[in-house]
């Protein structure tokens, strides 16, 4: 009721403010939108600001990709920080070191674009469009690096607007609204949901699905996690997804996170997953006292690309020439004779990739970075765990069990964040030792 009333109130304020708007200027959609943006930043009335914001949001919603690019280019040039004012304020603060002058410097350095987006957010339902704006903007950045400051401003605002303290944690089941259930099918990118029957299976009694929602986006999950209640750790994704004989929830001892999906591309870089996993662990621990193990069955999405790099780098000492030739053809999932020998090589290389490969000082694999940063340890590396086309293409068929052992989570997190030390089981370390020993023997 509160959500509905709040949206209705904002809409009513915007309606009242329409009569205070200037006549719509002539020109292209981009020209009109930029003129309205200037008026919005100079507006003092709440009703007129809300009406202007709604007008801009509506215009943007009808822009073509070319017009959106032109709009962001104009925003970047028209609403950047006042460099002269920043220089004066900085000089004054350097001279006085006074708190009041520091405050003046902070205010001068804040680009008008941040205030522009804040005011745009006063329009009813605007946050949905502003998130979509950033999604569009992210697609432009590779060819338009001058737009990076706008992305920085949006990310800065989103860290406040989507603070975990504002989010609502909900369980999704078959009784959840059809609108949300349709979104699960749309947003599931890890393991595609093939049909409504498939979705119903994933929401069965031996499964759990949890999501974070924002109060002003009640039908839009921001992130969701799918959990299987099992006995013991799973070895492969196929049997887990099918589970012809489900384990009763009361008999399960293991909760397996097998799919985590960030739903809004416009919120890339805004972290929700670590909070979601911690909340799920707490919720399941309270609901099902028989659950003693929390783990994942995760892909290794960067592994195949890393292997390709080794194949095309003849000087790499990680593999021999004969191994390089073997790795050059990974269309082996149907070849039962070749698979065991090649999987042994892949397991050793994957252990090296997970434990030693780095990107900007952290684990090279994005899924590994996520779970290790949350305090998990690498428990098992599983060959042939996902022989789907996608599993072979991304992970060479390998999956990983990351283990969330409650008594070790904090220590693992601190070790990884501060020293990039990766917690791993003895069996995973042995895989790495085998690769080192093989290379030394060569």
Q: Name the nearest CA neighbour of 384 among 346, 337, 425.
A: 346
Q: Are residues 436 and 308 in the same domain?
A: yes
Q: Please report how many Cα atoms fall inside a 13 Å half-sphere around the Cα of residue 388, on the Cβ side.
A: 14
Q: Are residues 212 and 124 in the same domain?
A: no
Q: Distance between CA atoms of 349 and 352, rounded to whole angstroms?
A: 5
**Catalytic residue, candidates 43, 48, 371, 377:** 371
Q: Distance between CA atoms of 172 and 399, rounded to whole angstroms?
A: 26
Q: Distance between CA atoms of 216 and 232, rounded to whole angstroms?
A: 39
Catalytic, 371? Answer: yes
Ranges of the chain whose pLDDT falls below 70: 1-25, 44-47, 329-338, 436-442
In sequence order, the β-bridge partners of residue 296 are 257
Q: Are residues 195 and 101 in the same domain?
A: no
Q: What backbone phi and psi angles, to 5 degrees, belong to 71?
A: -60, -50
Q: Are residues 113 and 232 in the same domain?
A: no
Q: Are residues 12 and 153 in the same domain?
A: yes
Considering Cα of 84, then 90, then 95, then 99, what sign does the dihedral take?
positive
Task: Mark which of 129, 161, 193 sits at the end of a domain.
Answer: 161
For the chain, what's the residue count? Answer: 442
Structural domain span for residue 330: 299-441
Q: What is the pLDDT of residue 277?
A: 93
Helix (H, G, I), strand (E, B) or coil at 171: strand
Q: What is the pLDDT of residue 337?
A: 63
What's the CATH number where 273 sits?
3.40.630.180
Cβ burial, residue 285 (10 Å; 0-12/13-18/19+):
middle
Q: Are 47 and 14 in contact (CB under 8 A)?
A: yes
What's the CATH number where 352 sits?
3.40.630.150
Considering Cα of 184, then 60, then 43, then 117, what sign does the dihedral take?
positive
Q: What is the pLDDT of residue 324?
A: 83
Task: Mark which of 239, 268, 292 sits at the end of a domain.
Answer: 292
Q: Are residues 227 and 334 in the same domain?
A: no
Q: Are residues 405 and 317 in the same domain?
A: yes
Beta-carbon contacts of residue 64 (< 8 Å; ≥ 6 apart): none
Q: What is the pLDDT of residue 7?
A: 52
Kindly state the greatest CA–CA separation across the chain: 82
Q: Are residues 156 and 8 in the same domain?
A: yes
What's the CATH number where 67 sits?
1.20.140.90
Number of independent structural domains in the chain? 3
Q: Are residues 16 and 157 in the same domain?
A: yes
Would you tell me how many other CB atoms lie within 10 Å of the CB of residue 255?
Answer: 23
**Catalytic residue, candidates 298, 352, 377, 395:** 298
Task: Mark which of 256, 277, 292 sits at the end of a domain.
Answer: 292
pTM: 0.87
Q: Are 161 and 127 in contact (CB under 8 A)?
A: yes
Q: What is the pLDDT of residue 157?
A: 96
Q: Are residues 280 and 191 in the same domain?
A: yes
Q: Are residues 238 and 151 in the same domain?
A: no
Beta-carbon contacts of residue 37 (< 8 Å; ≥ 6 apart): 56, 75, 78, 79, 116
Catalytic, 413? Answer: no
Q: Are residues 156 and 170 in the same domain?
A: no
Helix/strand/coil (H, E, C) string of 226-262? Answer: EEEEECCCCCCHHHHHHCCCCCCHHHCCEEEEEEEEE
DSSP H helices, 146-231, are: 148-161, 178-187, 196-202
Q: What backbone phi and psi angles, to 5 degrees, belong to 185?
A: -60, -40
Considering Cα of 426, then 428, then 430, then 432, what sign does the dihedral take?
negative
């Amino acid at each position: 009721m509160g959500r509905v009333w709040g949206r209705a109130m904002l809409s009513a304020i915007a309606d009242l403010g329409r009569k205070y708007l200037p006549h719509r200027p002539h020109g292209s959609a981009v020209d009109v939108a930029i003129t309205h943006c200037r008026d919005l930043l100079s507006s003092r009335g709440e009703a007129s600001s809300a009406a202007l914001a709604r007008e801009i949001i509506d215009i943007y919603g009808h822009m073509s990709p070319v017009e959106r690019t032109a709009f962001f280019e104009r925003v970047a040039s028209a609403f950047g920080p006042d460099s002269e004012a920043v220089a004066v304020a900085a000089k004054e603060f350097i001279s006085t070191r006074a708190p009041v002058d520091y405050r003046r410097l902070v205010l001068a350095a804040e680009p008008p674009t941040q205030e522009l987006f804040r005011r745009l957010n006063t329009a009813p339902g605007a946050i949905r469009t502003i998130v979509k704006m950033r999604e569009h903007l992210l697609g432009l950045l590779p060819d338009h690096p001058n737009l990076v400051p706008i992305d920085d401003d949006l990310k800065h605002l989103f860290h406040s607007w989507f603070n975990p303290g504002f989010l609502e944690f909900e369980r999704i089941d078959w009784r959840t609204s059809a609108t949300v259930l349709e979104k699960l099918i749309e947003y599931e990118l890890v393991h595609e949901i093939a049909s409504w029957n498939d979705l119903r299976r994933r929401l069965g009694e031996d499964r759990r699905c949890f999501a974070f929602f924002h109060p002003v986006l009640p039908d839009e999950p921001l992130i969701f996690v799918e959990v299987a209640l099992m006995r013991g750790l799973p070895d492969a994704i196929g049997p887990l997804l099918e589970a012809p004989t489900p384990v009763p929830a009361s008999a399960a001892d293991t909760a397996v996170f097998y799919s985590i999906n960030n739903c809004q591309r416009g919120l890339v870089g805004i972290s929700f997953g670590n909070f979601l996993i911690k909340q799920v662990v707490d919720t399941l621990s309270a609901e099902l006292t028989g659950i003693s193990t929390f783990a994942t069955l995760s892909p290794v999405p960067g592994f195949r690309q890393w292997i390709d790099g080794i194949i095309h780098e003849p000087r790499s000492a990680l593999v021999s020439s004969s191994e390089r030739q073997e790795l050059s053809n990974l269309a082996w999932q149907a070849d039962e004779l070749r698979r065991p020998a090649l999987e042994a090589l892949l397991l050793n290389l994957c252990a090296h990739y997970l434990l030693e490969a780095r990107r900007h000082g952290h684990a090279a694999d994005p899924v590994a970075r996520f779970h290790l940063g949350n305090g998990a340890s690498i428990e098992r590396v599983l060959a042939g765990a996902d022989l789907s086309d996608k599993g072979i293409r991304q992970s060479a068929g390998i999956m990983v069990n990351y283990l969330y052992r409650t008594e070790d989570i904090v220590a693992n997190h601190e070790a990884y964040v501060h020293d990039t030390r990766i917690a791993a089981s003895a069996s995973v370390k042995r895989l790495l030792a085998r690769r080192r020993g093989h290379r030394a023997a060569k």
